[in-house]
Structure 1
Amino acid sequence: MYFREPAVGLAFCIFYLAFNFTNKYVLSILKFTYPTLFQGWQTLVGGVFLHVCWKIGWVEINFFSRSDIISWLPASAFFVGIIYAGSRALSRLPIPVFLTLHNGAEVVTYVVQRVFFREQSSYVRSFSVILLLMSVGSLPLHDVQFDKDGYFWAVIHLFCSGCYKVFQKSKKPSSLSDLDQQYINYFFSVVLLASASHPTGDLISALEFPFLYFSIFHSGCFASGILGFLLMLLSVKLRSSVSPAHHLSWAFLAKGLTALVSLFVFEISLDIPLTICFLTGCFGEALLIYAERTGA
């Protein structure tokens, strides 16, 4: 019983690393940058696996009404923005840069909650958001591998991530569980991305992809779909069994481990100013966890 949380948490960290590394390999090393097809394949695999697990009784999906589905569609639209823009950004940016920019979603969440929902915030949380904003804002100035398109898609990714968190919190308590929400996300994504793959030319471009890498691409997409599905299940399990602060702590560890290991696997030009940007972001995120844990 005492080892359950560490076991789930460590598994979450390992799958988080494997998921991001697989995506980075397919998108950057193989240079298969067709996001509608890539993410459509991922969400199809995840949706099918979640549906099968529901039917055989491994997970519980509630019979949600049409009104529940319609009310959740804005969040599903943000979810598509998260995975689409995230793929675009990850294909062009180093993993530590991408994860640091991803933390900027907390800034979006903070601003939306303060401006539109008039929520009060502690000084510790406000200071942590300032540090995250400083880290994100300084990255383009010190990144010697600066990629304009990569940063553009990363901004869209963090904006959609922040809005998704706000929408998710505003729907709590809700008749939709975390798995219900993900079930709707998966199948909404498949429909939207499948319909968008032909007009954008992704399907045609994929068929022209070099045959040598074609099977590797499919294997990578399939592996990414499975890893993403298992990562989602572990995240839901972790969120339901520990406090929000503990869940944030495991997410912080997973991102830190992934960023650190990626330095030895993928190419990145790292210098002192860029390292300071990363460390500032890490300190800001650590303060955010402290604020969540203490209620400060």
Structure 2
Amino acid sequence: MPLKQNLLGLIFCCFFVISYFTNKYVLSVLKFTFPTLFQGWQTFAGGLLLLVSGKLGLVEMTSFTRSAALSWFPGSLLFVGNIYAGSRALSCLPIPFFFTLHNASEFVTIITLKLTQRERTSGIKLFSVSLLLVSAVTLPLCDPQFNPGGYMWAVVHFSCVGGYRVLQKSSHLSDLEQQYINYLFSVLLLAFAAHPTGDLFGALDFPFLLSYKFHSGCCASALLGFFLLLATVKLKSSLPSEHCEPWVFLAKVLAACLSPFVFDIVVNIPTLFCLLISICGEAMLVYSECRGPER
């Protein structure tokens, strides 16, 4: 593989790991558990940066019609559910646990495609997805610090992620166009939800509201999320889809393995076994994707 593609993959991994660590720091260490405000700020900053980048010609964004944007509204709703529930889950769960549950979204995607499009699936892919589902279902039963709220939001998160992937397969919009529409709808929906959820008034009593750590973390999370988006789009445009998956897998493994050195994690033998099963299942899934569709 050319040096340029390897460099793109490494840049993607760096942004992926640092972005997750920054979000985890704000949500868990600083305990800013107000996802409508946190994700509203991220989507507002991301949309603004994407718009400016498009105007300056730094990224390729073609104009799309209002009907095209409205047709993607179900995808935007799933995106909002994904980031909102993901923030809730990540604030309660260690990063390796979060990824184990996130991987169950592959099961949602495959089952939905089978029911709606009768898509054929290879045996090794079915087996790998079964391992991902088993590890995700077993993990809460083994977790020594079981948090029902965290796991509940994780279920909502991976369900939205799985459904979002299905809609992406049938969309004619580019990744950047989809994301820009997601940002627009997300800012509106999260702004309207800030008051009913109590996040707006709860944030006013947040002890770190005037702290430089809080402002630095929030600014970093927005910038890193935007750079991760650009790195992801660049990686997808430079590599075939089956060659992108190993880099995503590597980024998750790096984040999971490095997180115990940064954040406190309590594990036992059963939970460690669940994490390893999930990693093996995802490795097999990546292998099946690299092999291509079954003839």
Q: TM-score, normalised by structure 2?
A: 0.96
What CA distance in whole angstroms lies between the structure 2 residues aligned with 1:212 and 1:58? 34
**Per the alignment, in what secondary structure is the counterpart of residue 64 of structure 2?**
coil
Partner residue of 2:288?
291
Q: How far 1:287 moved relative to its partner? A: 1.0
Residue 195 (1) aligns with residue 200 (2) = no
- In the alignment, structure 1 segments of 5+ residues that lack a partner are none
Residue 126 (1) aligns with residue 123 (2) = no
**Per the alignment, in what secondary structure is the counterpart of residue 91 of structure 1?**
helix
Q: How far 1:279 moved relative to its partner? A: 1.0
Residue 137 (1) aligns with residue 134 (2) = no
Q: How far 1:11 moved relative to its partner? A: 0.8
Contact 1:142–1:274, Cα closer than 8 Å, also in 2: yes
Contact 1:19–1:228, Cα closer than 8 Å, also in 2: yes
Contact 2:30–2:208, Cα closer than 8 Å, also in 1: no
Q: Which amino acid aligns with 2:116?
A: F
Contact 1:96–1:278, Cα closer than 8 Å, also in 2: yes
The worse-fitting range, judged by mean Cα deviation, of 196-205 and 98-107 is 196-205
Q: Which amino acid aligns with 1:11?
A: I
Partner residue of 1:61?
61
What CA distance in whole angstroms lies between the structure 2 residues aligned with 1:219 and 1:42? 13
What CA distance in whole angstroms lies between the structure 2 residues aligned with 1:78 and 1:259? 25
Q: How far 1:214 moved relative to its partner? A: 4.0
What CA distance in whole angstroms lies between the structure 2 residues aligned with 1:149 and 1:212? 25
Q: Which amino acid aligns with 1:5?
A: Q
What CA distance in whole angstroms lies between the structure 2 residues aligned with 1:35 and 1:212? 15
Q: How far 1:215 moved relative to its partner? A: 3.7
Contact 1:37–1:197, Cα closer than 8 Å, also in 2: yes
Residue 207 (1) aligns with residue 204 (2) = yes
What CA distance in whole angstroms lies between the structure 1 residues aligned with 2:89 and 2:180? 25
The CA RMSD measured in Å over matched residues stands at: 1.3
**Per the alignment, in what secondary structure is the counterpart of residue 32 of structure 1?**
coil
Q: Which amino acid aligns with 1:19?
A: S
Residue 161 (1) aligns with residue 161 (2) = yes
Q: How far 1:212 moved relative to its partner? A: 6.5
What CA distance in whole angstroms lies between the structure 2 residues aligned with 1:253 and 1:195? 37
Contact 2:203–2:209, Cα closer than 8 Å, also in 1: no
What CA distance in whole angstroms lies between the structure 2 residues aligned with 1:135 and 1:170? 29
- Equivalent pairs, count: 293
What CA distance in whole angstroms lies between the structure 2 residues aligned with 1:290 and 1:212? 46
Partner residue of 1:234?
231
Q: How far 1:131 moved relative to its partner? A: 0.7
Partner residue of 1:222?
219
Residue 45 (1) aligns with residue 72 (2) = no
What CA distance in whole angstroms lies between the structure 1 residues aligned with 2:209 and 2:239? 45
What CA distance in whole angstroms lies between the structure 2 residues aligned with 1:160 and 1:265? 28
Q: Which amino acid aligns with 1:195?
A: F
Partner residue of 1:244?
241
Q: How far 1:118 moved relative to its partner? A: 1.4
Q: How far 1:116 moved relative to its partner? A: 2.2
Partner residue of 2:275?
278
What CA distance in whole angstroms lies between the structure 2 residues aligned with 1:4 and 1:186? 30
Q: State the Cα deviation string for residues 265-287 of structure 1 (Å, max 9, x = none).
A: 11111222111111111111111
Contact 1:88–1:153, Cα closer than 8 Å, also in 2: yes
Aligned-residue identity in percent: 56
Q: Which amino acid aligns with 2:40?
A: G
The worse-fitting range, judged by mean Cα deviation, of 29-38 and 212-221 is 212-221
Q: Which amino acid aligns with 1:167?
A: L
What CA distance in whole angstroms lies between the structure 1 residues aligned with 2:34 and 2:75? 23
**Per the alignment, in what secondary structure is the counterpart of residue 72 of structure 2?**
helix
Counterpart among 247, 252, 256 of residue 255 in structure 1: 252
Partner residue of 1:178?
175
Q: TM-score, normalised by structure 1?
A: 0.96
The worse-fitting range, judged by mean Cα deviation, of 210-219 and 105-114 is 210-219
* Superposition misfits of 4+ residues, deviation over 3 angstroms: 211-215
What CA distance in whole angstroms lies between the structure 2 residues aligned with 1:198 and 1:142? 36
Partner residue of 1:111?
111
Q: How far 1:133 moved relative to its partner? A: 0.9
What CA distance in whole angstroms lies between the structure 2 residues aligned with 1:145 and 1:85? 20
